Amino acid sequence: MQYLISFLEGIITFISPCLLPMLPIYISYFAGGGERTTAKTLKGAVGFVTGFTIVFVMLGALAGTVGSFLREYQTTVNIISGLIVIIFGLNFLGVFKLNIFKGNQRSVKTDNMGFFSAMLFGIIFSVGWTPCVGAFLGSALMLASQQGHIAEGMLMLLSYSLGLGIPFILSAVLVDYLKSAFNWIKRNYKIINLISGSLLVIIGILMATGTLGQFLNLLG
């Protein structure tokens, strides 16, 4: 069930006000200039998603490793992790604004972008846009650290990457058919932020009190 939460956090990251408005620019990158074809766009999108997935899974391994060393201090880890996620949620709710969660919009030359150059672009994205996706990425990492195992930490961030990556790939291929859906999301950003922030606060409270596992077992 923890993996489902990470997957949902990836989806919410995709529709965030920081990321979604940049989607047309990314798709033009994937197309590599010139006329956009489905095959070229799909190849670029898969490469891009592969790139940021590699970095995020490595971060998950690191979080799981740190968590394994701190297992004897699990209560402290739970409280600190939960408080961090609650802060992320309050930021989404507009209680206060953290300047660290601002994307970095840089232009990239992408003529004739192939799979591996798109993958490199995905790696650069994962580093340069970490402040933008930081709230839900951070939450996923906090969940990974609580697992206390490298493999589980990697799977946690793989789930997050799939939640972010699958909509990326589908949108890249079907962008011409999804314009109305994107416009609806943009018009309802306040509601989306309210739901996203509330979700983070609830997850943070459950993490801090050490009851997240019990809650997920009830849902399962």
- At 152, list the tokens: 């589980």
> Is the confidence at residue 106, as pLDDT, over 70?
no
Neighbours of 62 (CB within 10 A): 17
Q: Tell me which amino acid residue 30 is.
A: F
Q: What is the pLDDT of residues 14-39, one digit of tens each?
A: 887 667 666 776 766 665 555 567 77
Instruction: Please enumerate in sequence order all residues whose Cβ is within 8 A of that of 215, keeping only pairs 6 or more positions apart, or say none.
Output: 206
* Nearest CA among 147, 176, 120, 140 for reference residue 57: 140
Domain positions in the chain: 2-219
The structure tokens listed for 9 are: 């956090």
pLDDT averaged over every residue in the chain: 77
> What CA–CA distance (Å, rounded) separates 87 from 89?
5
Query: How confident is the model at residue 162, as a pLDDT?
Result: 95
Rounded to 5 degrees, what are φ and ψ at 39? -65, -45
pLDDT digits (tens, 9 = 90+) for 111-144: 556 788 888 888 887 776 665 666 778 788 887 8
Instruction: Please say whether the beta carbons of 193 and 94 come within 8 A.
Output: yes
159: tokens are 């789930």
Question: 94: Cβ–Cβ under 8 A, 6 or more apart, which residues?
Answer: 193, 197
